[in-house]
Structure 1
């Protein structure tokens, strides 16, 4: 599975590092949508949609989003059971609503939880960054 993540988001980066450490069988390909060559490598994908929330591309070509990506990614590295409750029918809708709030405010939430600001070399002027 390919995971498209926001390389400017400190929490997103941390999760991708944890996934990479556990991915002993190379089941995941982690792709930073903020990399300069992203649109060249993946011209058919809508960068704005990918930037709004995490996306994953299954081996069969199916594009998935949000906590479905998180669950499948952790399942691929052997600990999907930790995230399985987030996909249970009654919890799923609440968890997805919380994820949508997180995705929209991920830079602020990342800063509040980690003390790290948006990490980028080419941020929009006036936006928080790590320069």
Structure 2
């Protein structure tokens, strides 16, 4: 898959917990649909100036190749529809009221 066709996941590359979660996502992404970039990479500030440093530090962001922005729980919901291994979780994640838990 071309790099341009991949959805972009922006995460805090200085956060050990975040990096472990990204390692899990890399393993789950068997079809190479995702590209991962630390929010500290200059590419992020250059290509996504609409996302402030504060917004980026607050939660993970997912930017689909087709456009749009998903942050935090919405990014997790998007991933549940994108990664086949997470499809069994999709109904639970999309049920009203479950994500605030």
TM-score (norm 1): 0.60
**Residue 68 (1) aligns with residue 46 (2):** no
Which ranges of structure 1 fall in alignment gaps of 5 or more residues?
96-131
Instruction: State the TM-score, normalizing by the size of structure 2.
Output: 0.74
SS at match of 1:34: coil
Partner SS state of residue 91, structure 1:
coil
Structure 2 counterpart of 1:9: 15
User: What's the Cα RMSD here?
Assistant: 2.1
Offset of residue 50 of structure 1 = 1.4
Helix, strand or coil for the counterpart of 1:72? helix
Structure 2 residue ranges without an equivalent (≥5): 1-6
Higher strand proportion, which one?
2
Deviations 1:93-114 (A, max 9, x none): x23xxxxxxxxxxxxxxxxxxx
Distance 1:34 1:54 in 2: 13
Distance in 1 separating the partners of 2:92 and 2:63: 22
